Amino acid sequence: MKNLERPDGSLVTPIGWTLIALGILGVIIGASAESMGGMLAGWVLANLGLGLGVLLLSLGYLVRAIWFLPGRDIAAAEASDPSALMSAVTACDWCGRQLGAGFRTCTSFDHESLAKVSMKVRDRVCREQLRERGYAVADDPD
């Protein structure tokens, strides 16, 4: 099963600090090099280490900041709990079908709303239930 826990930046932040340390080491190697090859190797190591390190640190701290923003609570524990998902399941009063969280039954809409959307319904069972109750339903769009 997929891990539903939110990331907190705890993986990329230490990697970023390590790359910054390698970049500083590259600066020291490049400054103390007596040959052009050593200076070039130090320059490449410094640029890659510092550039990627700062990028990963920024990403890690940004993810950590977003994690703690107020109002951004995603209930990962509830989403991974099957009993919480089952409590969100509702049954349609007309056909008895079980609908998952986020879906609304036809009986939860008022008469005017059902009259407006009845021509757009694609599910066969729902179309049949709407037709039985006198709503205008398009011919089989499938």
Percent of the chain whose pLDDT exceeds 70: 74
Tell me the average pLDDT across 39-66: 89
**Cβ–Cβ < 8 Å for 114, 104:** no
Structural contact between residues 131 and 123, judged by C-beta atoms closer than 8 angstroms:
no
What pLDDT is attached to residue 25? 92
pLDDT at 128: 86
The pLDDT of 85-112, averaged and rounded, is 75
Radius of gyration of the chain (CA): 29
Q: What is the pLDDT of residue 79?
A: 52
Q: What is the mean pLDDT of residues 127-135?
A: 85
pTM attached to this predicted model: 0.44
Q: What is the mean pLDDT of residues 40-57?
A: 92
Distance separating alpha carbons of residues 92 and 123, to the nearest angstrom: 14
pLDDT of residue 119: 80
Q: Give the mean model confidence (pLDDT) for residues 115-137.
A: 82
Give the closest residue to 64 by CA, choosing from 26, 28, 14: 14
In terms of residues, how long is the chain?
A: 142
Give the per-residue pLDDT at 13: 86
Model pLDDT, residue 1 = 41
Across the chain, mean pLDDT equals 78
Cβ–Cβ < 8 Å for 136, 115: yes
Cα 62 to Cα 65: distance, rounded to the nearest angstrom: 5
pLDDT at 82: 58
Output the pLDDT for position 121. Answer: 79
